[in-house]
Amino acid sequence: MRELPELSVHHADPSTFPPGIAYMDGQYLPIGEAKISVLDYGFLHSDATYDVAHVWKGAFFRLEDHLERFFSGLEKLHMTIPYDRAQVAEILHNCVALSGLQNSYVEFICTRGMSPTFSRDPREAINRFIAFAIPFGSVANSEQMEQGLHAAVTPIVRIPPESVDPTVKNYHWLDLVSGLYVAYDQGADTAILVDTSGNISEGPGFNIFCVTDGKISTPKLGVLKGITRQTVFDICREMQIECVAEDVPPTKLKRADEVFVTSTAGGVMPVTKIDAAPVGSGSPGSITRRITESYWRMHEDTQNRMVVEYPAMA
C-alpha cells in the first residue's frame, strides 16, 4: 500500500474528553470506546430518537417522564429495543454509577441501526440502543446564567410538525444549527426559530417562555414538549401564576417584561437581550428568578428523585 501522507489531527480526542460511561451491545464502556458503524441509519439519515435526563447531586430528576417520552417516540417511529422501561432505567443508573458523576447529562438513543443486507427498507433494520452519562452540561454558561442570554430571532423556520413530529425528540438539527450561525453573525449567543406562521417556536435544545404583565406564555405548536417546560407549568400552578401554551408572535416576545428558556441542559435560563434590544430592564427578571429557584428546590422532593447508588470507592 502506498504510504499515506501524515495528517494533522483536527478532531478532539474522544478517549480523554469528556469523561463518562456508555452502554452498548450489552457492555459498559468508557465513553471514548463507544462507537457505531458509519452505515447506521441513525448517522446516515438522522433516523433516530433520543432523550436526555439529568442527575443532580446524585439523583435523577423526573426520570419517569423522560422514559415515557422516549418509549412513546420509539412507538411513533416503529422502533423496538430489547429492554423495557425498568431495564432502561437500570442501564442509565449503571452508566451514572460507574461514571461516578454526581451531576450528569444522561443521554439514551435508539437508532434505526442497519439491515444485515444494507437494504433501504427501514423495517429490515436492527434497531440499536445506546446510553451514556457525561458531566452535566448547560445551554448557558455561568456568566450567561447571571447576566442572561442574548438571543436572536432568526427568519429560519423550524421543521414543521407536518414534516417531522416535534414531540419525538430527534436529531433534525440543521435548522437549529443554521440558526446559531445567523445568531453568531449578529453577536448573539443563541438562536430562536419561528414556525410556518411566523410565530416563535424553539431554539437549539430549549423551549421559550415570555412574561407579560405577570402572565406567562410559551409556544404551543411545533415544539418538543420539554420536561423542563412541563416543570415550569407545574411550578406556575403552584405559585398561582398564569402560564399558557399559545401562539407567541415575535413582537410579543420582544415587548415582554421577561424572557427565559428551558432545557434539561441548564434548567431555567434568563434571556435579557433579543436582537439589538434589552428585554424589560435588561437583567434577569424576578419571576424568572423565582421559577429558577423553585426548579432547583424541586430537585430535593423525593417524588422527583431516583437516587443513584455509586459503587464504594476502592
Ligand X SMILES: *Cc1c(COP(=O)(O)O)cnc(C)c1O
What residues line the site for ligand X (CB under 6 A)? 52, 169, 202, 205-207, 224, 226-229, 262-264
Minimal distance in Å, beta carbon 233 to ligand X?
Answer: 11
Whether 222 and 270 have beta carbons less than 8 Å apart is answered as no
Q: Which residue is nearest to ligand X (CB)?
A: 226
Please give the Cα distance from 111 to 106 (Å, whole number): 16
Please give the Cα distance from 71 to 50 (Å, whole number): 10
* Cell matching residue 53: 435526563
CB closer to ligand X, 98 vs 145: 145
Minimal distance in Å, beta carbon 149 to ligand X?
Answer: 15
CB closer to ligand X, 227 vs 287: 227
Please give the Cα distance from 128 to 124 (Å, whole number): 13
CB closer to ligand X, 28 vs 132: 132
Minimal distance in Å, beta carbon 204 to ligand X?
Answer: 7
* Cell matching residue 169: 425528540
Minimal distance in Å, beta carbon 129 to ligand X?
Answer: 18
Q: What is the DSSP letter of 120?
A: S
* Cell matching residue 280: 424589560
Minimal distance in Å, beta carbon 245 to ligand X?
Answer: 13
Minimal distance in Å, beta carbon 193 to ligand X?
Answer: 9
CB closer to ligand X, 98 vs 159: 159
Please give the Cα distance from 44 to 161 (Å, whole number): 22
SS3 214: coil
Which amino acid type is present at position 281? S
Instruction: List 151's β-bridge partners, or say none.
Output: 190, 274
- H or E stretch at 115: none
Minimal distance in Å, beta carbon 262 to ligand X?
Answer: 5
CB closer to ligand X, 94 vs 207: 207
CB closer to ligand X, 173 vs 310: 173
CB closer to ligand X, 196 vs 283: 196
Please give the Cα distance from 8 to 208 (Å, whole number): 41
* Cell matching residue 289: 428568578
CB closer to ligand X, 29 vs 74: 74
Question: Which distant-in-sequence residues (6+ apart) come within 8 Å of 93 by Cβ?
Answer: 60, 306, 308, 309
Exposed, middle or buried: residue 19 (CB in 10 Å: 0-12, 13-18, 19+)? middle
Minimal distance in Å, beta carbon 110 to ligand X?
Answer: 15
